[in-house]
Amino acid sequence: MKALVTGGAGFIGSNIVRHLIKSGDDVTVLDDLSTGHRTNLDPFPDIRLLVGNISDPNTLSQALSNVDVIFHLAASVGNKRSIEHPINDTMVNVVGTLQILEAARKAGVRKVVYSSSAGIFGEPKTDLIHEGHPTEPDSPYGASKLAGEKMCLAYSKLYDLETVCLRYFNVYGPNQRYDAYGNVIPIFTNRLLNGLPIIIFGDGEQTRDFVHVSDVAHANVLASKTENFSGSLNIASGTSVTINQLASLIHNVSGTDTGIEHVPRRPGDVIHSRADISSAKKHIGYEPTVKIKDGLVEYVTWAKEEELRP
């Protein structure tokens, strides 16, 4: 398979590249390196890296030469970032996705695997979130990801282009660097490694479904190889923990306890989140394999090594 990974120098993208290379696939990465890191791709000297933007037609044309599948991860990510920069969020996530789809159509690409988000649901109405759950996003990020999904599925109806939209819940794992806008696990770990107390917004009893990035990468590869299916699928662990439990686990696996501070809840934050992943199992054979404690041991070890990197 000849694959293009947009945003392939980023956290999830570089882990997808790892899986593709392991399978012997021919990989091109398109990334403007605004949030991605070249070092994430150092283990893969045989890939083709194009430094550029998905909004540039010439770059897209070059990147899509003889490509079978596009893994589209290039995005502006995060609720807080989108609230502060809503126009940029929409331009990257909505217009950028449309440009990818149109370029894919013209190039005769077989399939687009689109990285979506559980942010499309907003505050859950049920304890278990399935694909048919109402989509009422609470942030421009969730709205832009939902718009990207709708665009993908419209293209799959109009043209000979299969599209699979993978709705990630809370992804964590190696190559996920600290970002104040990012996932709670690298934020907690960063504070821990700097000897600072973990800060929890609200009472800490809110729940999240954390999924290891290797499971997410595997889901992308499975989606790319499944034939005659277009649609949206939840990609998660199917289990949930409270934020208080998460903080305790991180302290436990690191062997360091820096304490916890609670501050007021932020607007736009979801209270409870757990995914029904039965549809992903049915349609692409997805089964998560990494337990959260094992994943946190791996991540904290990676983060400590990253702190020491020159």
Domains and CATH numbers, the chain: 2-172+212-238+276-289 (3.40.50.720)
pLDDT score of 163: 98
Q: Which long-range contacts (CB under 8 A, 24 or more apart) does 303-306 make?
A: 303/186, 303/189, 303/190, 303/193, 304/193, 306/177
Assessment of whether the complete model's pTM goes beyond 0.85? yes
What is the tens place of the pLDDT at every residue in 77-118?
877 777 887 888 899 899 999 999 999 999 999 999 999 999
pLDDT band at 310 (very low <50, low <70, confident <90, very high): low
* Catalytic-role residue among 114, 141, 286, 299: 141
Question: What is the token pair recorded at 151?
Answer: 């665009």
pLDDT band at 169 (very low <50, low <70, confident <90, very high): very high
Q: What is the DSSP string of 158-200?
A: HSS-EEEEEEE-EEE-TT----TTS-HHHHHHHHHHTT-PEEE
Contact 71, 6 (CB under 8 A): yes
Catalytic residue check, 168: no
